[in-house]
């Protein structure tokens, strides 16, 4: 019991930097949720249940476009499919005798950042370490959403518009660093922009709903990139250019 408590404390401490980053991003989500007509309660429930920036921001756009439940569900499945792989990886780090409910709770609380911290732990992973990470990181995400919605009700419209730009700043900050010096990734990012513009301006695609446009582009571009530029298992002979491709695709929402 004492070991579990210590593991939880260590996880909680390591999750504080994640919580601070989450607060800033989810604050923007809260502002946009307010603009979309959601109440503070609705926005907080979405953040608490999803804990995924790409999925939640995409959901707001789909809601604004009156997308169907099928489009929303399929979009979330495609955007968040990576968490299934992360769950499998962390499951292998648990003790083989760990009960199913530990695996279930860990899978629900996995995010890119929580996975990145947990997977780097040496030896076997104690589930309570992940619970500690979740105990600080998830409230940071949820509270940021709440204060974003509240701020959208009291701050002047000019400030709200300025803060809304933070979303685009976040996406730029995500794709630019890994794209530096990586011609493959730079080309894929440019291709994504051109394909999105093509889908938006071509008349034949006007009948395709925004939700399915996201699904088609995500599967198509990510699939072609994975086929043409496969990432081998991390080893000494793996070029940095190829090694950085997969996480960059993941983070870039592709």
Average pLDDT per consecutive 10 residues, the chain (254 residues; last block may be shorter): 84 91 86 87 90 82 82 82 82 84 86 85 86 93 92 74 65 72 84 86 76 76 81 47 40 40
Between CA 105 and CA 112 the distance in angstroms is 16
What global pTM score does this model have?
0.67
In this predicted structure, what is the pLDDT of residue 174?
Answer: 63
| Burial of residue 232 (number of CB atoms within 10 Å: 0-12, 13-18, 19+) | exposed
pLDDT value of position 167 = 60
Query: What Cα–Cα distance (Å) separates residue 205 from each residue in 56, 60, 65, 233?
Result: 24, 21, 15, 38
pLDDT of residue 76: 83
pLDDT of residue 9: 92
pLDDT for residue 42? 92
Please report, for the chain, the start and end positions of each structural domain, with discontinuous segments joined by +.
Answer: 2-162, 170-251
pLDDT value at residue 210: 67
């Amino acid at each position: 019991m004492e070991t579990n408590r210590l593991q939880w404390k260590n996880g909680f401490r390591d999750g504080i930097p994640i919580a601070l980053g989450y607060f800033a991003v989810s604050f923007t989500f809260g502002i946009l949720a307010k603009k979309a007509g959601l109440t503070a309660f609705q926005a907080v429930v979405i953040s608490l249940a999803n804990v995924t920036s790409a999925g939640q921001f995409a959901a707001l756009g789909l809601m604004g476009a009156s997308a169907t439940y099928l489009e929303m569900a399929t979009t979330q499945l495609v955007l968040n499919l990576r968490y299934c792989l992360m769950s499998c990886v962390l499951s292998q780090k648990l003790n083989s005798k760990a009960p199913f409910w530990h695996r279930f709770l860990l899978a629900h609380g996995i995010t890119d950042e929580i996975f990145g911290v947990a997977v780097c732990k040496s030896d076997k992973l104690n589930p309570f370490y992940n619970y500690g990470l979740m105990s600080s990181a998830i409230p940071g995400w949820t509270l940021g959403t709440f204060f974003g919605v509240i701020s959208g009700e009291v701050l002047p419209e000019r400030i709200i518009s300025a803060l809304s730009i933070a979303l685009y700043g976040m996406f730029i900050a995500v794709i630019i660093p890994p794209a530096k010096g990586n011609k493959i990734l730079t080309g894929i990012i440019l291709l994504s922009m051109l394909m999105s513009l093509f889908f938006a301006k071509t008349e034949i695609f006007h009948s395709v709903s925004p939700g399915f446009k996201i699904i088609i582009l995500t599967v198509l571009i990510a699939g072609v990139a994975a086929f043409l530029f496969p990432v081998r298992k991390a080893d000494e002979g793996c070029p940095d250019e190829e090694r950085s491709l997969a996480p960059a695709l993941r983070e870039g929402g592709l």
